[in-house]
Amino acid sequence: MTQEKPVLMRRGDPKYTWDDTVKAIGKDFSGGKARPAQETVAPSAVARYCEVWEIGNPIYWDVKAAKQAGYGNVVVPWSSTQQTFTNDTFWRPGEPTRFPMSHGKDASAANPAPPEESEGLLPMPVHTNSVRTDMEIEFFEPVCVGDKLTSKGDKVVNVRPRTTRIGVGAFINWEFLVYNQRGALVARVVRGSYAYNPT
C-alpha cells in the first residue's frame, strides 16, 4: 500500500506579487474586531504554567507575597502572557483534529486549521508553506489572576521578500495590542513568519 503525500495548503492569489504585500505595510487587517481570550486568568492556570518551568518566584504563587510587592493579586509570568492567556481556543469537542494521521512531517503546511483571517485579506502571491520566525513583546502593565485579556489590531509592520535555503517568499511581521478588562494596555506584540514556496 502506497502512502499518499499530504496535499499542501495553497494560500494567496496569483494576481499578487510580494511587491503588493510590501505596499500593505502600515495597514490593519483586523477589521476592528477584538479577540477576547477564552478564559479569565485563574490561580490554577498560573500554577500549572509555573510548575512546568519550575518558576518559584512567590509573586506567581502567593497573594500575600504579590500584594507585599505592590500587585493587586498573584502575577502572571511575563513569558506566558501572549501564548497562554491571550489565546481563544486551539480545539474544542466537535472540531476536526489538528493532527490527522494522513499528514506528513511538514506540520505547518499540512495543518488543517484555517489560516488567520488577516492572512486571507493580505495581498500575497500563492504560497504553500509558512513558519513562525520570531516574536517581540513589549509590556506595559502586569497581568494578574482575575484579568481577562483581549487582543486588538492586526497591522502589517514589515515585509521583506527573500530567497532562503528552504524556499522563495517573504518575511512578514504583524503587530497587535493586548488589553485587560479595564481597558489598560498590557502588551504590544510583534510576531513574524516566513511565507514561501519550497525550492
Q: What residue has cell string 509592520?
A: 157
Cα(27)–Cα(18) distance, integer angstroms: 15
User: In Å, how far from its chain's centre is CA 156?
Assistant: 14
Residue 194 structural domain: 18-198
In a domain, 147, yes or no: yes
Q: Are 134 and 122 in contact (CB under 8 A)?
A: no
The string of DSSP letters for 13-44 reads -TT--HHHHHTTTT-B-STT--EE-SS---HH
pLDDT at 110: 37
Three-state DSSP class for 77? coil
Structure confidence at residue 9 as a pLDDT band (50, 70, 90): low
Is 8 part of any domain? no
11 part of a folded domain: no
Mean pLDDT in residue range 70-82: 93
Among the ranges given (16-20, 43-47, 112-116, 163-167), the one the predictor scored with the smallest mean pLDDT: 112-116
- Give me the phi and psi of 149, to 5 degrees please: -95, 150
Residue-level pLDDT at 60:
98
Percent of the chain exceeding pLDDT 70 equals 84
Confidence at residue 70, expressed as pLDDT on a 0 to 100 scale? 97
Q: Please, are residues 193 and 169 in contact by the beta-carbon 8 Å criterion? A: no
**pLDDT averaged over every residue in the chain:** 87
Q: What is the mean pLDDT of residues 43-53?
A: 96
At residue 10, what is the residue type?
R
Average pLDDT of the residues in 179-194 = 97
Segment 48-55 shows an average pLDDT of 95
Phi and psi at residue 155, in whole multiples of 5°? -100, 135
Does a structural domain hold residue 13?
A: no
Q: Which three cell numbers stand for residue 149?
A: 485579556
- 165 located within any domain: yes
Cell triple for residue 4? 499518499
**Cα 61 to Cα 121: distance, rounded to the nearest angstrom:** 42
Residue 88's domain is classified under what CATH number? 3.10.129.10
Question: Is residue 143 situated within a structural domain?
Answer: yes
Domain count, the chain: 1
**Residue 72 is assigned to a structural domain of this protein:** yes
Instruction: Tell me, yes or no, whether 3 lies in a domain.
Output: no
pLDDT tens-digit series, residues 97-131: 777 666 555 544 334 434 455 555 899 999 999 99
Mean pLDDT of 68-89: 90
In the sheet where 35-36 sits, what is the strand order? 35-36, 150-163, 167-179, 185-198, 129-139
Categorize the per-residue pLDDT at 8 as very low, low, confident or very high, splitting at 50, 70 and 90.
low
What's the confidence (pLDDT) of residue 98?
Answer: 73
